[in-house]
């Protein structure tokens, strides 16, 4: 591939020509070309900056540097080496090879510095800075040597020899670069402890019916190709995962390894699989060309290839055909019986297409857009087919997540919708995992821990490796004030899905509540290394840094987060709050005003528009109270007006009114023996502060909560506020 690019540099080379020159008449999917380009970029540290190998939209690729002749320089170096004692030769490298290495080091330098929180990448970058020859500098030095050598050739009059050297020079440059590529790639894959993706010291036996479904590449630049490529990948994984005897790693795992540009054999080793499926989706007018190839990676052998020219109406048929073909091919070599996959989803093409769109936004949307777009697509799916259980299950899950960090939909709307979707999903498919997980989320929020446990265990009894159910178990354990169990479940989820950004963030959340900030930051850096655009990782990294008292770095992280997703209201408000804590009122007001601008003409918008001024005033007024009371319905784990609202009730001598208002919004505290956790801790403390008489049950519950998370309570000031309320 490198030779083909070099032969045409700096002109672009079409994908079709590259296919022909590299693979000849053999049938390969477009993904093979993309994968080799990715491997080249990674080996040259060009996978982020793309300065060496550039993508030309709708055409192909080009090598952005012009190859030059190096043959005489090599001969000169070889002559010097031949006259040197052999003991000294091993310590030297040719100028050409060193130039290639320097080109590699400099190309990777600045791009890695731009990634927030990636300590391992930064360490590598610091080591690489010792290389002083830039890519432009290397090229100029090489050109200078080549010109001198060319001049010497012309002076000797050896035109035939010069011609031969010119013909050989391109092959020589390609050979040198290939040697550098191979050396760098081998070094990256097999050395050091800073590579979390491949452990060369760990050899495990491969399961016979184990297959990695590599993310289908998107050849065309359009949204339809995006949701089809991701949706087909996800659905094939889902189909095979429910087939007895099959081991199928998740999309997160294959995606992370594919991004690193590893070979198929390395991916198979890392994921402990015997087979791999790669595919691509290309739009052709109003239809799509879907190409797939089933491979035995360790034999570098294609077991089955196919190409489908289809419209949207044929997507389900194609998915089932691919899944069944995999079962037939893989199972024919082993003892397990073939089991054809039944549709089990929907026979309605429009419903299936909408479902793929919903899955795409659920998996890829930013914090400000994913919910609304996923909801709209899943609703289209069930409208097209009212018996579509998987679409109902997906709706149930996203509705149940209505307030996990941001508030996507008001509670009074979200909970009834979630329960209706759960009922529909389980009526049509009693084993729908998303519906059971959604049930557990709602039960956890309502303090029905027994029901939450039963729902999660129902999923795990069918699929012990369901990472979602495991990390929901960790959330449940946190709510039950069991930090050790929470950590155990979070670690189990990470063992199953080590390359999932969200699973790593979930582990960080558990460490956050446990006050283990170093471990939390390490998990978040892993998440960002896997996906540098994963906004949840930035948000929680900022929260952990703030817990450490490091508001300056927390501000930097949130600035980066809002560069990725500038339309998230909750993140903009959080950044404004961080600036306020730092004492920068101007910047705080800018972000509060931005937050208000995203919310339109609403009570919430008016609150944020005036919030900067409110923070500067000493007293909370009745007007402020009137703005804040409606926001009690919009509590999340990231945002609460309760502390400031409580101050307002006390300042205006309305403690009794405030006590009744807050208690009405938190029925979990209206019991003889209430439980306090992260979902109602601020409300419980407010009741203690506002009560005109002793409330020992609330005080006892708060003490238990603080004892469960002592480091968090101390660092956030929650413990001090509690002790002051008790003493008052």
Q: What is the pLDDT of residue 130?
A: 33
My answer on whether 370 and 250 are in the same domain is no
CA-nearest of 250, 241, 242, 239 to 215 is 250
Q: What's the pTM value of the predicted model, to 2 decimals? A: 0.68
Asked if residue 496 belongs to a domain, the reply is no
CB-CB neighbours of 96 under 10 Å? 23
**Residue 9 CA to chain centroid, in angstroms?**
35
| Dihedral pair phi/psi, residue 331, rounded to 5° | -70, -25
My answer on whether 219 and 299 are in the same domain is yes
- Measured between its terminal Cα atoms, the distance across the chain in Å is 75
Q: Is the dihedral of CA 76, 78, 83, 87 positive or negative?
A: positive
My answer on whether 348 and 328 are in the same domain is no
Q: Which residue has the higher pLDDT, 143 or 707?
A: 707
DSSP for 110-128, written as a single string: HHHHTSTT-HHHHHHHHHH
Q: Of the ranges 75-79, 307-311, 578-582, which is most confident? A: 578-582
**pLDDT of 134 strictly over 80:** no
Predicted confidence (pLDDT) per residue in 330-360, tens digit: 875 544 444 555 545 788 888 988 998 898 8
Give the domain-ending residue among 305, 337, 369.
Answer: 337
CA distance 139 to 66: 9
CA distance 28 to 20: 10
My answer on whether 436 and 355 are in the same domain is yes
My answer on whether 408 and 359 are in the same domain is yes
Q: To the nearest whole percent, how much of the chain has pLDDT over 70?
A: 77
Q: What is the pLDDT of residue 57?
A: 62
Asked if residue 218 belongs to a domain, the reply is yes
Asked if residue 139 belongs to a domain, the reply is yes
My answer on whether 133 and 270 are in the same domain is no
My answer on whether 310 and 370 are in the same domain is no
Asked if residue 475 belongs to a domain, the reply is no
Predicted confidence (pLDDT) per residue in 634-678, tens digit: 777 777 899 999 999 999 999 999 999 999 999 999 998 999 999
My answer on whether 135 and 227 are in the same domain is no
Asked if residue 563 belongs to a domain, the reply is no
DSSP state of 247: B
Give the domain-ending residue among 294, 322, 337.
Answer: 337
**pLDDT of 383 strictly over 80:** yes
My answer on whether 359 and 328 are in the same domain is no
Cα 695 to Cα 595, 652, 672, 676, distances in angstroms: 38, 22, 11, 14
CA-nearest of 98, 121, 93 to 109 is 121
Looking at the structure of the chain, the number of domains it has is: 4
My answer on whether 279 and 227 are in the same domain is yes
Asked if residue 379 belongs to a domain, the reply is yes
Q: What is the mean pLDDT of residues 265-276?
A: 88
**pLDDT of 313 strictly over 60:** yes
Residue 204 pLDDT grade (very low, low, confident, very high; cuts 50, 70, 90): very low
Predicted confidence (pLDDT) per residue in 538-570, tens digit: 999 999 999 999 999 999 999 999 999 899 899
Q: Which residue has the higher pLDDT, 117 or 15?
A: 15
Asked if residue 285 belongs to a domain, the reply is yes
Asked if residue 112 belongs to a domain, the reply is yes
Residue 126 pLDDT grade (very low, low, confident, very high; cuts 50, 70, 90): very low
Reduced 3-state DSSP string for 30-77:
HHHHHHHHHHHHHHCCCCCCCCCEEEECCCEEEECCCCCCCHHHHHHH
CATH number at residue 395: 1.25.40.10
Q: What is the pLDDT of residue 210?
A: 87
**pLDDT of 50 strictly over 60:** yes
Q: What is the pLDDT of residue 533?
A: 87
Q: Residue 304 in contact with residue 330, Cβ under 8 Å?
A: no
My answer on whether 369 and 265 are in the same domain is no
H helix count then E strand count, the chain: 35, 8
**pLDDT of 205 strictly over 70:** no
Tokens, residue 256: 């992370």
DSSP state of 515: T
Q: Is the dihedral of CA 198, 202, 206, 210 positive or negative?
A: negative
3-state class (DSSP) for residue 292: strand
Give the domain-ending residue among 296, 313, 337.
Answer: 337
CA distance 229 to 490: 30
**pLDDT of 198 strictly over 50:** no
Tokens, residue 502: 């969200």
Cα 296 to Cα 19, 268, 566, 640, distances in angstroms: 21, 9, 44, 54
Tokens, residue 682: 């601020």
DSSP state of 581: H
Q: What is the pLDDT of residue 175?
A: 57
Q: Residue 327 in contact with residue 339, Cβ under 8 Å?
A: yes
Tokens, residue 396: 């149930």
**pLDDT of 33 strictly over 80:** no
Instruction: Please list, in sequence order, all residues whose beta carbon lies within 8 angstroms of the beta carbon of residue 660, skipping any fewer than 6 positions away.
Output: none
Domain range for 287 is: 211-337
My answer on whether 625 and 722 are in the same domain is yes
CATH number at residue 324: 3.40.50.10070
**pLDDT of 249 strictly over 90:** no
């Amino acid at each position: 591939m490198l030779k083909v690019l070099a032969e045409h540099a700096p002109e672009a080379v079409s994908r079709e020509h590259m296919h022909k020159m590299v693979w000849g008449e053999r049938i390969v999917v477009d993904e093979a070309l993309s994968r080799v380009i990715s491997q080249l970029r990674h080996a040259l540290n060009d996978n982020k900056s793309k300065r060496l190998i550039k993508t030309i939209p709708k055409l192909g690729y080009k090598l952005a540097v012009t190859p030059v002749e190096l043959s005489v320089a090599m001969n000169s170096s070889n002559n010097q080496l031949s006259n040197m004692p052999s003991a000294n030769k091993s310590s030297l490298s040719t100028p050409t090879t060193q130039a290639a290495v320097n080109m590699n080091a400099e190309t990777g330098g600045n791009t890695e510095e731009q990634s927030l929180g990636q300590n391992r990448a930064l360490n590598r970058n610091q080591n690489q800075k010792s290389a002083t020859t830039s890519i432009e500098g290397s090229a100029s030095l090489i050109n200078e040597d080549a010109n001198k050598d060319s001049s010497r050739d012309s002076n000797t009059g050896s035109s035939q020899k010069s011609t031969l050297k010119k013909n050989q020079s391109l092959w020589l440059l390609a050979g040198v670069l290939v040697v550098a590529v191979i050396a760098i790639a081998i070094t990256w894959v097999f050395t050091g402890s800073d590579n979390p993706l491949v452990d060369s010291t760990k050899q495990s036996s491969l399961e016979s019916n184990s297959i990695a479904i590599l993310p289908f590449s998107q050849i065309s630049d359009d949204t339809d190709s995006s949701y089809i490529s991701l949706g087909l990948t996800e659905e094939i994984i889902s189909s095979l995962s429910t087939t007895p005897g099959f081991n199928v790693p998740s999309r997160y795992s294959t995606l992370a390894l594919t991004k690193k540009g590893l070979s198929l054999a390395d991916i198979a080793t890392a994921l402990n699989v015997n087979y791999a499926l790669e595919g691509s989706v290309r739009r052709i007018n109003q239809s799509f060309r879907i190409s797939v190839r089933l491979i035995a990676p360790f034999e570098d052998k294609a077991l089955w290839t196919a190409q489908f020219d289809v419209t949207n109406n044929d997507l389900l048929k194609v998915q089932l055909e691919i899944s069944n073909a995999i079962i037939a091919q893989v199972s024919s070599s082993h003892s397990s019986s073939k089991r054809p996959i039944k549709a089990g989803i929907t026979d309605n093409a429009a419903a299936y297409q909408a479902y793929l769109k919903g899955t795409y936004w659920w998996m890829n949307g930013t914090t400000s857009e994913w919910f609304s777009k996923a909801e709209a697509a899943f609703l289209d799916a069930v409208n097209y087919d009212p018996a579509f259980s998987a679409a109902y299950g997906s709706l149930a899950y996203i509705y149940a997540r209505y307030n996990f960090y941001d508030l996507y939909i008001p509670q009074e709307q979200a909970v009834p919708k979630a329960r209706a979707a759960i009922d529909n999903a389980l009526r049509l498919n009693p084993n729908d995992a998303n519906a059971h997980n959604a049930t557990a989320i709602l039960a956890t929020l309502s303090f029905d821990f027994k029901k939450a446990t039963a729902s999660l265990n129902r999923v795990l009894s069918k699929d012990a490796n369901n990472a979602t159910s495991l990390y929901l178990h960790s959330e449940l354990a946190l709510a039950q004030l069991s930090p050790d169990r929470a950590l155990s479940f979070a670690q189990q989820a990470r063992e199953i899905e080590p390359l999932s950004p969200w699973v790593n963030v979930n582990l960080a959340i558990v460490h956050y509540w446990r006050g283990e900030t170093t471990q939390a930051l390490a998990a978040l850096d892993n998440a960002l290394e896997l996906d540098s655009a994963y906004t949840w990782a930035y948000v929680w990294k900022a929260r952990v840094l703030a817990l450490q008292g490091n508001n300056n770095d927390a501000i930097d992280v949130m600035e980066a987060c809002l560069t990725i997703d500038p339309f998230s209201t909750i993140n903009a408000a959080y950044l404004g709050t961080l600036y306020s804590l730092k004492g920068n009122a101007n910047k705080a007001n800018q972000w509060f005003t931005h937050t208000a601008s995203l919310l339109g003409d609403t009570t919430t918008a008016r609150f944020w528009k005036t919030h900067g001024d409110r923070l500067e005033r000493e007293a909370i007024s009745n007007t402020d109270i009137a703005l804040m009371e409606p926001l009690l319905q919009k509590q999340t784990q990231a945002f609460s007006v309760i502390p400031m609202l409580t101050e307002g009730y006390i300042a205006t001598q309305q403690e009794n009114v405030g006590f009744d208002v807050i208690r009405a919004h938190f029925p979990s505290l209206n019991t003889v023996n209430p439980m306090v956790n992260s979902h109602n801790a601020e409300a419980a403390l407010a009741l203690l502060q506002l009560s005109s008489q002793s409330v020992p049950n609330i005080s006892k519950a708060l003490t238990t909560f603080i004892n469960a998370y002592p480091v968090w309570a101390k660092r956030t000031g929650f413990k001090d506020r509690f002790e002051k309320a008790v003493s008052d």
